[in-house]
Structure 1
Amino acid sequence: MNSQFWDEKFSLNPNLYGEGPNEFLKEQLSIFAKGKILFPGEGEGRNALYAASLGWDVTALDQSYIAQKHTLLKAEDSGLKLHYLVCDVSHFIPEPESFDLIALIYFHLPLSIRDNVHQTFEKSIRKGGTILIEGFGKKQLKYSSGGPKNEEMLYDIHEIKSSFPNIQWEYEFDGIIHLNEGKGHSGDGHVVRLRGKIK
């Protein structure tokens, strides 16, 4: 899935994944002190804008200029500030220990780059910082509520955990939930949720 694919998708289906934040993210952000947060694969900004509204220093990135445009227009309308970069995530090299929290919300990658990207992100988390993950699990192919159709891009909880070797996991969930996140994520689905701290 390249930038053209996502530009077209967001052009034809604005607010594809809804305008409110992901419920797991919303719940988890309530327990952390505000700091610097990164949202890779952020799309049209629903999670980044929510974090910015709480006072977080937000950096978002995606490969779609249309998604960036939609996000920044919403930010302007709401009087919110955030940094939004358009780039190939495999070329994004953040400064070491530069974020307090990284949120990977439905951030699915090809197996060929997954571990390298994840470990780059891990290095950018400050000591004591946190990573949050929610994404579709392998059983999602049985459901019609969204997600990649390529099984290798879906999450196996043990593979995802091993992809971040220096994270101490504090919370994990692997099961079926009901999604209500716009037309793109609607109905029952198999999700993996994780929260962990850098060792």
Structure 2
Amino acid sequence: MSDHSGQTQEGTQEEIWDARYRENERVWSGEPNAALVREAADLAPGRALDLGCGEGGDAVWLARQGWRVTAVDVSQVALDRAAGHAAEAGVADRVEWQRHDLGSSFPAGEYDLVSAHFLHSYGEFPRERILRAAAAAVAPGGVLLVVGHSDMPPGMAERHPDAYLPGPDEVLAGLELAPGAWEVLRCEEHPRVQTAPDGTIWNRTDNTVKVRRKV
């Protein structure tokens, strides 16, 4: 649920993201995030929760690996596209699509994998609180995977002066994990080459926090 249009955004989270998705027939590539593939490929499939699923690239990939996926987004436009993507991929029966404004509601249940990739948004967006709810939804032995941006694309910082992009140590601290109850598997920054919709190439810095719940 990350956007780089650089436009001023007003309205509710649902209105903002529905409008963003209506701008183009497809916003994202349809492929899974590379960090998800890297970090989840060796996990035993179980129940997965995909927060900010967008057009469904990650959810479809997880379903293809054998996961039962609950995929969540604030935009019904995105969810409808994602459901179509899952049907085309032959995994519609493995994914449940739910619309949530995560600042107000959160999906029920416990999950063996909770994944939040680029869960950034506009205005009042309680990301830390949402990620703490994500941690609470991880079943014993399960994994929380949080991947985010550490920096803005060139020229975007001036357009979004209030944007806050925490580093991995800040993300980990913000989770407020109970001492002794979690194992930190990864907490680091890494470079990524990103291609913008207009073909512009950006060198970005992202970060990954991956933790396993012991009890």
Q: TM-score when scaled to structure 1?
A: 0.85
Residue type at the aligned position of 1:113: P
| C-alpha distance after superposition, 1:158-185 (max 9, x if no partner) | 2210122224321122143212486699
Corresponding residue number in structure 2 for 1:192: 207
The structure 1 residue matched to 2:134, chosen from 121, 136, 140, is: 121
**1:105 shift after superposition:** 0.5
Helix, strand or coil at the partner of 1:88: coil
In structure 2, distance between residues paired with 1:44 and 1:136: 19
Note if contact 1:145-1:186 (Cα within 8 Å) is conserved in structure 2: no
* 1:158-177 alignment runs, 5 A limit: 158-166=169-177, 167-177=182-192
* 1:1-199 alignment runs, 5 A limit: 2-81=13-92, 82-95=95-108, 98-108=110-120, 113-137=126-150, 140-141=151-152, 143=154, 149=160, 151-166=162-177, 167-180=182-195, 187-199=202-214
Note if contact 2:190-2:206 (Cα within 8 Å) is conserved in structure 1: yes
RMSD: 2.6
| C-alpha distance after superposition, 1:84-114 (max 9, x if no partner) | 1112112333445x10011110012567622
Residue type at the aligned position of 2:97: Y
**1:155 shift after superposition:** 2.1
In structure 1, distance between residues paired with 2:200 and 2:26: 11
**1:142 shift after superposition:** 5.2
Residue type at the aligned position of 1:91: S
Q: 5+ unaligned residues in a row in structure 2: which ranges? A: 1-8
In structure 1, distance between residues paired with 2:25 and 2:115: 22
How many residues in Structure 1 have an aligned counterpart in Structure 2? Answer: 195
**1:58 shift after superposition:** 0.4
Q: 5+ unaligned residues in a row in structure 1: which ranges? A: none
Residues 63 and 177 (structure 1 numbering): CA distance in 2 closer, same or farther, change over 3 Å? same
Residue type at the aligned position of 1:32: L
Helix, strand or coil at the partner of 2:103: helix
Note if contact 2:50-2:114 (Cα within 8 Å) is conserved in structure 1: yes
Q: Which has the larger radius of gyration?
A: 2
Residues 171 and 181 (structure 1 numbering): CA distance in 2 closer, same or farther, change over 3 Å? farther
In structure 1, distance between residues paired with 2:184 and 2:199: 29
Helix, strand or coil at the partner of 1:20: coil
Helix, strand or coil at the partner of 2:43: coil
Q: What fraction of aligned residue pairs are identical, expressed as a percent?
A: 20
Greater helix content: 1
